[in-house]
Amino acid sequence: MSARSIRLAAPLALAALLAGCASFSADGGFGQVEQVAKDRLGKNLHWARTEEQQSHIDQRVAELLARPLSADDAVQLALLNNRGLQAAFFELGIGEAELVQAGRLPNPGFGFGRLTRGDEVELERGLHFDLAALIAMPMRRDVESRRFAQTQSVAAASVLALAADTRKAWVQAVAAEETLRYTRQVMQAAEAGAELARRMAQVGNFNKLQQAREQGFYADAALNLARAQQARLAARERLIRLLGLWGRQTQFTLPERLPDLPPQPADQPDIERTALAQRLDVQAAKLATEQTARNLGLTKTTRFINVLEVGAVRNSSNEAPTQRGWEISFELPLFDWSGSRVARAESVYRQSLQRTAQTAIEARSEVREAYGAYRTAWDIAKHQRDEIVPLRQRIAEENLLRYNGMLIGVFELLADARAQIAGVNASIDALRDFWLAQADLDMAMLGRPTLVPMAGPSPANADSGGAGH
């Protein structure tokens, strides 16, 4: 190869060498996602990429399961042990691989040809470099960098969503356990009433209507107990799936009751602005729009340079002097001037702008709805705790005095006991709804929540209350 060809190939070889220096990071981009979990959830996050890391996670999971599982422990356990979340983390590895690839030039091409013409033998050798890839490499790397940042945002949003879902599942599981205990008490009271009515009817002290009424109360209580048992099973299994548990791990214990209602609800005067500044989906939408804009700029820059290669050529023959030189090739835009690609990129960019605006509008609405549900749930739970339950208790105490004075019978006392227990169940439901609304509000401040309309009275409470009346 001549000195001129060497001078032409040297800068390209140097560019290829520098591009080859692009390497993978130590954490695969996981550090930013881990920091989100620490800053916004106060939880530790681990990515099990080796057997040693998985062993460390298993040890921490065993420590959390050794004691009654609190809400914070459940969230921490899910962030460590949920296999779907671990699978989502590998999107970071895929994205980083594409980012590193964007910073590396394609391998050079080498061509060799042997031609004969009679006794003449001609050898052709060529070394080719993709010059277009070298020109577009900074822009392509910038595009992939923004795409990787978006992948990190998606992974962080998955972490926050899993934390919110786990906290809600924990609240529902604990409330279902507590409701089941009180439903069993209703069942015991109804069973005692039905048995007493049967015995009194046998000796002629009870008519058939009164006996059928008590038997109906017992049948309703048995039905409500079956419903409560199924609700408890479903809530616990939902929590188990989020925690990623199996086998003996599913035998974990939960607290006996939900946390107490806070003395005062949290005041959020500037909740919309705070949410827009913090929500990851809004940030991701903005990042996607910026990336689309960069893509549009790249499309306009390279619209006439689809294929551009440069190379050194050396031809030799046994009957002619050796040929040396260089060649450059590119695609001629005779039929396709790439106008359609530019028009498509512009439409995608406009579409991205509208989607970003819609994301912001939905974020404002969701955070308002979540805060409204939170305040209403707090008011209802406080009313149940401070008004309904004490009133039921006073009625029960007055009826007990009348029973001791033989002013009312045992069936009236049992009916009042069922009504009192139903009031407690309604208070549990209200407290459950408050903590679910709290979890929705927390998620609405950080990402897109799963808002569910506030539930009305459960069938168990409605039937038991009717029985008491």
Predicted confidence at residue 70, as pLDDT, reads 93
Asked if residues 458 and 425 have their Cβ atoms less than 8 Å apart, the reply is yes
Question: Which residues have a Cβ under 8 Å from the Cβ of 105 and sit 6 or more positions away?
Answer: 15, 16, 19, 20, 129, 130, 133, 134, 137
Predicted confidence at residue 13, as pLDDT, reads 52
Token pair in block for residue 24: 């993978």
Question: How crowded is residue 434: how many other Cβ atoms within 10 Å of its Cβ?
Answer: 28
Token pair in block for residue 319: 């009957």
Indicate the SS3 state at residue 232: helix
Eight-class DSSP state of 266: P
- Round to whole Å and give the CA distance between 443 and 449: 5
Question: Which residues have a Cβ under 8 Å from the Cβ of 312 and sit 6 or more positions away?
Answer: 1, 5, 8, 9, 126, 127, 325, 326
- Round to whole Å and give the CA distance between 253 and 235: 14
The model's pTM: 0.73
Cα distance between the two ends of the chain: 104
For residue 440, the surrounding DSSP H or E stretch is helix 410-446
* Structural domain boundaries in the chain: 3-468
Token pair in block for residue 311: 């190379």
Running along the chain, 469 residues long, what does each successive block of 10 average in pLDDT? 48 50 73 87 88 90 92 94 91 83 78 77 76 72 78 86 93 93 84 81 76 81 90 94 92 91 85 82 78 66 45 58 60 56 78 84 88 91 87 78 71 73 83 92 84 55 40
- Round to whole Å and give the CA distance between 272 and 57: 37
- CA 363 to each of CA 193, 254, 288: distance values in angstroms, whole numbers, following the listed order: 53, 34, 17
For residue 362, the surrounding DSSP H or E stretch is helix 339-383
Rounded to 5, what percent of the chain is helix, strand, coil?
Answer: 70, 10, 20
- CA 182 to each of CA 145, 251, 382, 423: distance values in angstroms, whole numbers, following the listed order: 56, 22, 20, 10
Indicate the SS3 state at residue 112: strand
Max CA pair span of the chain: 132
Q: Domain 3-468: which CATH class?
A: mainly alpha
Predicted confidence at residue 432, as pLDDT, reads 92
Predicted confidence at residue 32, as pLDDT, reads 85
- Contacts of residues 358-366 at CB distance under 8 Å and 24 or more positions apart, as own/partner, are 359/281, 359/282, 359/285, 360/276, 360/282, 360/285, 362/448, 363/275, 363/276, 363/279, 363/281, 363/282, 363/444, 363/448, 364/272, 364/275, 364/276, 366/444, 366/448, 366/449, 366/451
